[in-house]
């Protein structure tokens, strides 16, 4: 059953499960590849992902123009066609660009907007409060989700700031936490209240967060193992804890794969080998995986495929990628 664009805006509490933060595919010449993006999104939904996000760190947003990002969001929405919620990253280091892209996403019909903390400038907590309050006020009926990723932005949004925003800003509904400080997750929920929606962006903290009352995941692992990532969430909520743990530990090699070199270069390499995107091209300053990197990726794929093929036949495409000879794909 399809929903109208923006159908989840009034029910953000349903943005649960595994929301896949998809890569932005480029052609070998470096242009945004909208056909590959559509193919990738369709495959994600068929594999069971509960929603789609584009424009987070895995989507290389800082290497694209605002119009390129907006057009990619429109491609995702057209492909999804109401089958699942769309929650794109619309943040930038500049306030005017953040408001412009959030507006384009709003007009296109997204269900919520994921706003990264402004990077490089290292604003104070008061400045972060003003930043999010300003963006949220521009689109008061659009759920706003903060994206906390201090390893990339050099600033962390404090639990008290999250709590203040959740209290003062009606459409500030939650946060994607991409910090390895697991105590931070607990302090955010304690400060803001258990009605705050919290997603994990740290792959190996996705399952533990659920025990604290987390909403779900926006995990890069879903790019290469969407079915297993979704099944881990479902198993936990069905009380099948041993099954959820089996999947968690079975995914370890694929989590390691993602970070063999800077994400999303390894992920794009795998997706190209699978034939899901036309090219593994990443834009500067990133580069495609080096030859030693490819060797590590292939070894981790083989290790992960041994597990995934036993869990779910729909993920055995990983094994095919693991067996594919090394290729540069014309890059």
Q: Provide the annotated active-site residues.
A: 147, 176
Residues 5 and 273: their CA atoms lie apart, in Å, by: 33
Residues 31 and 149: their CA atoms lie apart, in Å, by: 27
Pairing of strands 144-148, 113-116: parallel
Residue 212 has which token pair?
A: 């604290």
CB 34 within 8 A of CB 72: yes
Q: How many CB atoms lie within 10 A of CB 144?
A: 27
CA distances in angstroms from 219 to 47, 263, 291, 302, 327, listed in the order given: 15, 12, 26, 21, 26
- Say which DSSP state 41 is in: H
CA distances in angstroms from 254 to 182, 250, 304, listed in the order given: 21, 8, 6
Residues 18 and 242: their CA atoms lie apart, in Å, by: 19
Residue 276 has which token pair?
A: 């899901």
Q: 218: which residues sit within 8 A by CB, 6+ positions away?
A: 19, 20, 21, 53, 56, 87, 114, 176, 199, 200, 201
């Amino acid at each position: 059953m399809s929903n109208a664009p923006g159908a989840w805006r009034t029910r953000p509490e349903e943005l649960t499960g595994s929301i896949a933060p998809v890569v932005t595919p480029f052609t070998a010449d470096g242009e945004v590849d909208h056909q590959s993006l559509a193919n990738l999104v369709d495959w994600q939904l068929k594999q069971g992902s509960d929603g789609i996000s584009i424009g987070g760190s895995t989507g290389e947003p800082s290497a694209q123009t605002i119009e390129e990002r907006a057009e990619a969001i429109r491609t995702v929405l057209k492909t999804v066609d109401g089958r699942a919620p769309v929650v794109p990253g619309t943040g930038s280091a500049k306030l005017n660009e953040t408001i412009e892209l959030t507006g384009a996403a709003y007009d296109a019909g997204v269900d919520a907007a994921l706003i990264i903390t402004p990077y490089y400038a290292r604003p104070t907590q008061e400045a972060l409060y003003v930043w999010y309050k300003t963006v949220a006020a521009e689109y008061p009926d659009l759920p706003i989700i903060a994206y906390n990723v201090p390893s990339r932005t050099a600033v962390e949004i404090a639990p008290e700031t999250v709590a203040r925003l959740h209290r003062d800003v009606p459409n500030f509904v939650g946060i994607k936490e991409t910090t390895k400080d697991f105590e931070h997750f607990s302090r955010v929920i304690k400060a803001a209240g258990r009605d705050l929606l919290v997603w994990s962006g740290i792959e190996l903290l996705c399952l533990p967060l659920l025990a604290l009352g987390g909403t779900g995941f926006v995990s890069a692992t879903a790019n290469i193992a969407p079915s297993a990532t979704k099944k881990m969430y479902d198993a936990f909520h069905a009380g099948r804890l041993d099954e959820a743990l089996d999947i968690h530990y079975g995914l370890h090699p694929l989590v390691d794969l993602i970070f063999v070199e800077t994400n999303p270069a390894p992920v794009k390499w795998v997706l190209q080998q699978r034939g899901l995107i036309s090219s593994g091209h990443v834009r500067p300053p990133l580069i495609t995986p080096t030859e030693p990197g490819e060797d590590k990726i292939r070894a981790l794929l083989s290790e992960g495929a041994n597990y995934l093929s036993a869990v779910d036949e729909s993920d055995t495409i990983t094994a095919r990628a693991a067996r594919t000879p090394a290729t540069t794909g014309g890059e």
